[in-house]
């Protein structure tokens, strides 16, 4: 080999060792086009990695196929097995399960029967995922246990972190949430501390985001997403681990956190970069974009986004139902949600069903079907458990049902829901809950509290750009100001005063308002204090003088 050739090869391998993938891709790609510079099996594997990180997914697969052939030609079963496993992984990500299964079988052919080696940990991971998919938790944990032992034997921090992530997935599938998330945190701490290679760091960030969203753990999803993006920003290579389904989950996080402009841009990027035969991520991104557009009042754009998602094979619910509700088509909204609840895939996780149930509650109440709303809210409550995001959804639904039923039990669950949304930093749902609390406050006669909630909701909607909701809150706030009563009286206190001025006793007032005599006496004491009077006669005179009677 000539000196320039050796120099180009050295520069390329140096870029690979530094995991500077954009630079490595350019150098390896240039070398690969030179007839006098045949790439080795390892070089081709590095070109595949570099192509993936640089966004050239088709080239990544092509280079990996050549790498596998080169390893086979050299009689390197470990190298061939690893290349075959990567092809299995990449084809699965491209939405080609039959091809992926064939390459997994070939990886087993290369690696089974060899002495324990790090490459076999990837086969154990595949075994764990297959066992989880068929509901065999014992086999899944046995496989992740083998994966951990192989990782420990290899001394690789990368494989050890990956084995903890895999164990987390197996535990979460069995409902062992605390154990699973503890392992995930341990794996992600290694990534955040810079203890892992860049490939595994980016990979784990993406896997963690997916697991957190499937487990409805918004707090962890937001935290690890933020950490991952800081890691990307600190890199001088421009690499980003969020692609495909990972980017769709990132859009979901940004949407919940109220970062709608960034969410819509990420959604557009996800739709542009997803391969034509990996449609699930693009469909999810279109749904997320539609949700942002709907909340901002861009209903025609939202309808187009949901239509694109539907074309790609996904029922765009509950967003489409809430769009129909905004268009005044409550019956169509209810029908769409009934179908979605029946057809929902179990693999989409508890958050997806919780969102459907929350929307079903809202739509049923809009249709006046309080019993149906109560049934949906009850299922949501049973599903939520103590998961903060699901619990906030369930408390909101329970409060809305109680409010529609005219009971006095609406405020406690609504207050819990607002506390949950604020703790999760989910501004849109917090503002929507404030609107419900304002209605409950008005029903209880506390106009001042209702005005405070409406003002907070209006300000939040305006910050988010949720135009229709902001206008609704502003209109209610204006109407409440116009109904302001003299002397700072609440609506319930004014009702008590009107009845007293009409000659009713405390018992008569209690009967008319269906409240206790003790409550009447408390309201009357408040009236006397606010008006600065000390007798029923003086209060009656005030009522006549100010047009309350």
User: In this predicted model, which residue has the larger pLDDT, 21 or 474?
Assistant: 474
Q: Is the pLDDT of residue 168 over 50?
A: yes
**pLDDT band of 123, cuts 50, 70, 90:** very high
Q: What is the mean pLDDT of residues 79-97?
A: 90
Taking the CA of residue 206 as centre, how many other CA atoms within 13 Å lie in the half-sphere pointing to its CB? 19
Mean pLDDT of the chain: 87
Rounded-to-integer distance, Cα 23 and Cα 40, Å: 18
Rounded-to-integer distance, Cα 57 and Cα 48, Å: 8
pLDDT at res. 547? 72
Non-local CB neighbours of 313 within 8 Å, separated by 6+ positions? 279, 280, 283
Mean pLDDT check: name the lowest of 192-201, 268-277, 354-363, 442-451: 268-277
Q: Which pLDDT tens digit goes with each residue over 256-285?
A: 999 999 888 888 877 776 554 457 778 888
CA 284, 323, 416, 254 dihedral sign is positive
**pLDDT band of 183, cuts 50, 70, 90:** very high
Q: What is the mean pLDDT of residues 278-294?
A: 84
pLDDT at res. 270? 74
Q: Which pLDDT tens digit goes with each residue over 337-348?
A: 999 999 876 566
Q: What is the mean pLDDT of residues 402-426?
A: 91
Contact 530, 538 (CB under 8 A): no
pLDDT at res. 3? 46
Which among 2-6, 91-95, 352-356, 472-476 has the top mean pLDDT? 352-356
Q: Is the pLDDT of residue 236 over 80?
A: no
Q: Which pLDDT tens digit goes with each residue over 494-545?
A: 888 888 888 889 988 888 777 888 888 999 999 888 888 888 888 888 888 8
pLDDT at res. 175? 87
Q: Is the pLDDT of residue 484 over 60?
A: yes
Q: Cα separations (Å) of 58 from 62, 280, 342?
A: 6, 18, 37
Give the predicted TM-score (pTM) of the model.
0.75
pLDDT at res. 340? 92
End-to-end CA distance of the chain: 105
Rounded-to-integer distance, Cα 280 and Cα 92, Å: 12
Q: What angle do CA 410, 413, 417 make, to 5 degrees?
A: 125
User: In this predicted model, which residue has the larger pLDDT, 274 or 34?
Assistant: 34
Rounded-to-integer distance, Cα 511 and Cα 494, Å: 16
Q: Is the pLDDT of residue 481 over 70?
A: no
Q: What is the mean pLDDT of residues 158-181?
A: 93
pLDDT at res. 115? 94
């Amino acid at each position: 080999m000539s000196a320039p050739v050796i120099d180009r090869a050295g520069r390329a391998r140096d870029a690979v060792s530094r995991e500077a993938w954009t630079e490595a891709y350019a150098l390896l790609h240039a070398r690969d086009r030179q007839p006098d510079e045949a790439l080795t099996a390892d070089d081709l594997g590095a070109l595949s990695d570099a192509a993936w990180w640089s966004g050239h997914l088709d080239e990544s697969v092509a280079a990996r196929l050549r790498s596998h052939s080169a390893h086979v030609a050299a009689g390197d079963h470990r190298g061939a097995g690893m290349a075959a496993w990567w092809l299995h992984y990449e084809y699965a990500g491209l939405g080609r399960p039959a091809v992926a299964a064939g390459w997994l079988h070939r990886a087993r052919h290369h690696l089974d029967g060899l002495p324990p080696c790090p490459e076999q940990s990837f086969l154990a991971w595949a075994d764990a995922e297959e066992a989880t998919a068929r509901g065999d938790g014992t086999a899944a944990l046995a496989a992740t246990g083998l994966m951990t032992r192989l990782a420990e034997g290899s001394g690789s921090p990368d494989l050890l972190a990956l084995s903890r992530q895999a164990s987390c997935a197996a535990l979460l599938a069995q409902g062992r949430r605390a154990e699973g998330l503890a392992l995930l945190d341990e794996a992600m701490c290694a990534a955040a501390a810079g203890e892992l290679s860049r490939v595994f760091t980016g990979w784990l960030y993406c896997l963690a985001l997916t697991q957190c969203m499937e487990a409805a753990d918004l707090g962890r999803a937001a935290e690890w997403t933020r950490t991952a993006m800081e890691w990307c920003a600190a890199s001088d290579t421009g690499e980003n681990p969020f692609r495909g389904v990972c980017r769709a989950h990132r859009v979901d996080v940004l949407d919940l956190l109220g970062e709608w402009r960034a969410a819509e841009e990420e959604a557009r990027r996800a739709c542009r970069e997803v391969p034509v035969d990996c449609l699930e991520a693009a469909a999810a991104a279109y749904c997320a974009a539609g949700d942002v557009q709907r909340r901002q009042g861009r209903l025609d754009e939202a309808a187009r986004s949901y239509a694109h998602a539907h074309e790609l094979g996904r029922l765009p619910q509950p967003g489409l139902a809430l769009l129909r509700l905004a268009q005044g088509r409550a019956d169509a909204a209810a029908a769409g949600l009934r179908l979605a609840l029946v057809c929902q895939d179990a693999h989409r996780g508890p958050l997806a069903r919780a969102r459907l149930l929350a929307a079903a509650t809202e739509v049923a109440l809009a249709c006046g079907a309080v019993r149906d709303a109560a049934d949906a809210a009850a299922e949501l409550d049973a599903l939520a458990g103590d998961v903060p995001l699901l619990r906030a959804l369930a408390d909101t639904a329970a409060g809305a049902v109680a409010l529609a039923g005219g009971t006095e039990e609406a405020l406690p669950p609504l207050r819990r829901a607002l506390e949950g949304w604020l703790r999760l930093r989910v501004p849109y749902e917090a503002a929507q809950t404030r609107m419900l609390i304002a209605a409950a406050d008005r029903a209880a006669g506390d106009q001042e509290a209702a005005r405070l909630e409406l003002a907070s909701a209006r300000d939040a909607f305006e910050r988010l750009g949720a135009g229709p909701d902001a206008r609704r809150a502003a209109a209610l706030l204006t109407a409440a100001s116009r109904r302001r009563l003299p002397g700072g009286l609440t609506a319930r206190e004014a009702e008590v005063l009107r009845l007293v001025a009409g000659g009713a006793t405390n018992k008569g007032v209690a009967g008319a308002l269906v409240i206790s005599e003790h409550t009447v006496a408390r309201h009357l004491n408040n009236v006397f204090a606010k008006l600065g009077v000390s007798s029923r006669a003086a209060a009656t005179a005030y009522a006549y003088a100010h047009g309350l009677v």
